[in-house]
Amino acid sequence: MILVTVLIATLVIAISLPVLGQRVLERRIVFVDLALAQVAATGYALGMALEIPGVFAAAATTAIAVLFMAFMDEETPLPKEAVMGGVYVFAASVGMVLLSLLPYGEGQLMGLLFGSVLGIGWQGIAELALFSAAGLALALPKHANSFSGRLRFYAGLSLIIVPAIYAIGVLLVFAYLVMPALSVWRRGHNGPAWEALTLAILASVAGTFIADFLDLPPSATVVLTLAGIAVITGTYIHFNNLGPEVIEENSEGDDSQNDDESDASPVDDRIKTNA
């Protein structure tokens, strides 16, 4: 029974996170998931300190963080990873100070940050799938590099990542967000999404059964299986020189042809897959 829920839960994130991970990787904002999760956890602790429901406080602080991130232009000269890292350490430190003042707080906050795939039941899986679908619907469609476009992207991202980390833990979420996308990454750009999805699903099934057969912790075993498959796939792609051909950017004289797409993500426009 528990084996089945573990398998289904890992399959849900194997379907939702790799495609999202590709969007995260191309924007060079890998720390965004840790930052958002920490902001939510700190909000939860703040809620406990102020004696208001932790979930509402977590939603409020996450919304503030999403607004803050949306102000940052995608072409900003600032190193975005450093900004995300800064948000993470700031939120973690606030959380730590709050924790030191709250009896019984640390267990709940740790639970919020480091959920376990073993703790998720059918209701939790349904909620995870629902949040993932809503998050993907917001984050995946191309968005303009405007405040509202970025807001939609980060809101979608937080709708998937925060509940997923709460439900199954930061280890699995970070692994599924980064590893499949990284494995099929080629010539400096994202590879086909179906490749990332396939290897993620394969790792979920194989990792869950290997963990059960060898009596090992499922989260770490699934991550190790995913890492193994990702390294093999990545090495194969690298040495066989597979991948999209990068089309040179248009010359200045051709700018008028792209006016209708000028607000789409610049990275998406530069990649065309080989026939």
For other proteins, the closer of residues 115 and 156 by Cβ is: 115
Are 201 and 163 in contact by the 8 Å Cβ rule? The answer is no
Check binding of 220 to other proteins (CB under 8 A). yes
Q: What b/e readout covers 187-222, taking b as 16+ CB neighbours within 10 angstroms? A: eebbbebebbbbbbbbbbebbbebbeeeeeebbebb
CA neighbor of 14 nearest in space, from 211, 207, 232: 207
List the one residue from 2, 137, 232, 247 that touches other proteins (CB under 8 A).
2
**How far, in Å, CA of 113 to CA of 15, rounded?**
22
List the one residue from 51, 215, 248, 259 that touches other proteins (CB under 8 A).
215
Stretch that binds other proteins, among 14-22, 191-199, 208-216, 245-253 (CB under 8 A): 208-216
Give the sign of the dihedral formed by CA 61, CA 82, CA 190, CA 146: positive
Distance of closest approach, residue 268 Cβ to other proteins, in angstroms? 38
List the one residue from 63, 67, 92, 111 that touches other proteins (CB under 8 A).
111
Check binding of 92 to other proteins (CB under 8 A). no
Check binding of 118 to other proteins (CB under 8 A). yes
Check binding of 145 to other proteins (CB under 8 A). no
Residues interacting with other proteins, by CB under 8 A?
Answer: 1-3, 5-6, 96, 99-100, 103-107, 110-111, 114-116, 118-121, 208, 211-220
